Chains A and B, each alone.
Chain A
Amino acid sequence: MSQRVLMKGNEALAEAAVRAGCRHFFGYPITPQTELAAYMAKRLPKIGGCFLQAESEIAAINMVLGASAAGARVMTSSSSPGISLKTEGISYIAGSDLPALIINIQRGGPGLGGIQPSQADYWQATKAPGHGDLHILVFAPNSVQEMVDTVASAFALADEYRMPAMILADGMLGQMMEPVVLPEEGNVTLPEKPWATNGHAGEVRNIANSLYIEAAELERLVKARFERYAEIEEKHSRHETYGLEDAEIVVTAYGATARVAKAAVRDARAKGIKAGLLRPVTLWPFPKKAFEDAAKSAKAFLCVEMSMGQMVDDVRLAVQCKRPVEFYGRTGGIIPTPAEVLAEIEKLAGGAE
């Protein structure tokens, strides 16, 4: 087993991608994500890969589309405003049934916003990562180790279902260093991609395309895609629980905020409040069933985010109004503190008695 090393989140994501067999990176620099691209710029040329800094995010995502169509394991990374520019390309990639990995190290918005950590792109990632009827896989790791562990499975699921996958992190996870155990370096066998447009060596000439003039044909394709989405929702939602068994107050948060929430839950328990944490690990598919189950015994839910309240919509839908769902958030780059979250838990506990 590899040894524990101290690594910055952004650099660990890059090395994990390399070890997952990714040899193609197209991007454009933006804080707080830049170390990821910088790492790839140093690393990929040494191992026969291709790092290319494009003239814009739009160009970069279309290079991703091209490389993916040719069968390459390919990725890009950016931060919030840059992801907005990539959404057109993400829609085209989804519409062309191509796999790709997109990393969003979120910062405050809207507009150029700020450069401090944020989770205000939840709606964008899970509801409208581009125009049209589509979903992408969205993973929300909460530590440098989990970011590393997510990379290979995000690539694999994207390949399996021929769709884009996103790792939705934030400036705190990207910038921080933590001990991490990297996967072993070695030859990665990529899955066969018989659909790749790599020079029509075979009988069939493959085409990567998202334009369908015939309405009936487009409807048939979109419906077939949604059947795959249904299978993913059935099989691939992930979540983590902490002290949920006897919890009366279920705190829910994803990514870095889940760590703050967990610290607050620990403090609440020390004060005798029966609190627990339900952390969605995948945001699409959203772990609806875990929330349904938790709603059976919990008295109330508290959703904590670095936004004005976005995931809370999905929590309310999953809980189906059976229990009150309260919200606490900080935005614009402010990270909520465990003390603030604890105060909200105490408010709810007081009200529940």
Chain B
Amino acid sequence: MTDGLVNTACVCAVLAGGFAFAVFEQTHGLENWTFETQRRQLAGDGRLWAPPIALGEKPDVGWVPWSTDADSGRVYIVDFIYTRCPGLCEGLGAQFRLMQRELQHQHEAVPVSLLSISFDLAGDTPEQLAAYSQRHGADASVWRVIRPADQKEADRLLRALGIVAIADGTGGFVHNSALHVLNQYGQVRGIYDYGNWQAALDGAERLAGEPKSEGARE
């Protein structure tokens, strides 16, 4: 009986230790209990990367905004949209318009670009993307409303960044919307709440002022 009790105590200690370790790992040190906060923590630590993907329409597919060997020094503020979205994506559009205005009125040109990437390839035709651009007054030299070249590229980007779009039951989507600040290498350097566009823009401008090699993936 004593042996059984000792064995049990040892197994229980291993189980409890394993559980504590798993919870500690899962929550990044008991700090991030949701996937979204984990994603933001990864971005804050510089460990969230967007793979180089081709954006644009056939036959002009092939614009790759960021890549590991880029030397443009350009910083991107990226959001993910679908143009049929009646609320949030329109709100994001309004915020991008404000950011565009600020960027257009800078005394010196800042290498910051705005990108609204559609994840709804089936629903968002080039015409609908153009209509969204027009509705929000997007100036293509500052703000591009675009979609990945194909579904495979879209899935790759969304998976890498932890963007999940789920059907809302009324024909639309619910997704973790936020403003992502990416450097030329595709490294996410900050994720800002929807509504916090000024902080996102400030972060992007600060990042654009850093030396070009900053943040390059080893």
Say if A and B assemble together. Answer: no
